[in-house]
Amino acid sequence: MGEIFEEHRPRLRAVAYRMLGSLAEADDALQEAWLRADRADTTDVANPAGWLTTVVARVCLNMLRSREHRREEPLEEGGGAAEAVPAAVVDPEEEALLADEVGLALLVVLDTLSPAERLAFVLHDSFGVPFDEIAPMLDKNPAAVRQLASRARRRVRGAPLPQADAVRQRQVVGAYLAATRGGDFDALVALLHPDVVLRADRAVVPTPEPILVAGSRPVAEGAMASMGRARFADVVLVDGRPGMAMLERGRVRVVLRFTFEAGLITEIDVLAEPERLRELDLTTWS
C-alpha cells in the first residue's frame, strides 16, 4: 500500500487541501490517513485510489468537525487555539501559490460551509466522486448528499453583478487588494475618499475598544501593515456587495466591508469577531 499511497499522494493532498484550506493541516491529514491505511487489511480493496480518497476524506471530515467546536476561539500565536492547530512546518510561498491555484475566493466560501456540505461539494464537484460513494461517509442517502452539494454549489457560484456600479466597485476592491499586496501606498490613497473612515472591531487587533481611523493617508498606512495577510486575501461578495476576506490556516479570520461614493471608498468596516463573521453572507460571483 505504501507505493500506491505515494503514487496517489498529489491527488490525495489536493483533496485534503480543498477540504481543509490549510497546507499544514492537509499534510497532517495525509499522515493520519497513511497510518490508517498501513494498519488496514486491504486484501479485498479493488480500487485502491478510491479507497485512499475515502480514507483521506474521512480524516478531513473529522478535522473539520473538530474545527467547528473551536471556531469561537481566536487564533493567536503561542497559546489557546493555536495549540490545537497542527504544527507542521510549510513553506509560506508554496502555500500562497497553492491557494492562488485553487482560488482564494473559493477557499473563503468553502470555510463558510458545514463540514458535510464541504465534503459533498469538494469530492463530487472537484474530484468526480459519485454521490453513492460519498453517502456512507456522511451516513446519508445519495439524494441527501446531492442536496448538500447543490446548496454548497449555489454559494460557491455566487450571484451575478450586472449593475455598472457593482462592477466598478469590484474593480476598486481588486485594486485595493493589489495595492496592499504590492505595498503601493500612492495607488491605495488614490482609491480612498479624503475623509474615508475605517472601523475595526476589537478582535482585529486586541484593544479595549474598537479602532477608528479617519483620513486617506492614515487608513492607507494601516493597510500597509497588513501586506502579509493580503497574500491570503481575495475579493468576495459580502452580503451581496464587493468586499474582501482574509484566510488564516484555512479559516476566514478577517472580512473587509466597503462603502463607496462616486467610485471611491468612503468607509471600511474590518470585522474579525467570530459572532460577527458568522452573520455575514460570503459568496463568490458568477
Residue 20 has a pLDDT of: 96
Q: How many CA atoms lie within 13 A of 181 on its CB side?
A: 15
Residue 91 has pLDDT above 60, yes or no: yes
Question: pLDDT digit string (tens) for 121-163?
Answer: 999 999 999 999 999 999 999 999 999 999 999 888 876 655 7
Q: What is the CATH number of domain 164-283?
A: 3.10.450.50
176-211 confidence digits (pLDDT tens): 999 999 999 999 999 999 999 999 998 887 777 888
DSSP letter assigned to residue 59 = H
Given a cut of 60, is residue 86 above it in pLDDT? no
> Is domain 2-157 in CATH 1.20.1250.20, yes or no?
no
* Closest to 191 in 3D by CA, of 210, 174, 209, 213: 174
What is the number of other CB atoms lying within 10 angstroms of the CB of residue 93?
9
Cell of 169: 466597485
pLDDT of 72: 52
Q: Describe the strand order of the beta sheet including 251-261 as a list of residue ranges.
A: 211-214, 192-200, 264-271, 251-261, 241-248, 233-238, 282-283
pLDDT, residue 226, reads 84
How confident is the model over 13-69, as pLDDT tens digits?
999 999 999 999 999 999 999 999 988 888 888 899 999 999 999 999 999 999 877
Where exactly does CATH 1.20.140.160 map onto the chain?
2-157
Which part of the chain has CATH 3.10.450.50? 164-283
For residue 82, what pLDDT band results from cuts at 50, 70 and 90? very low
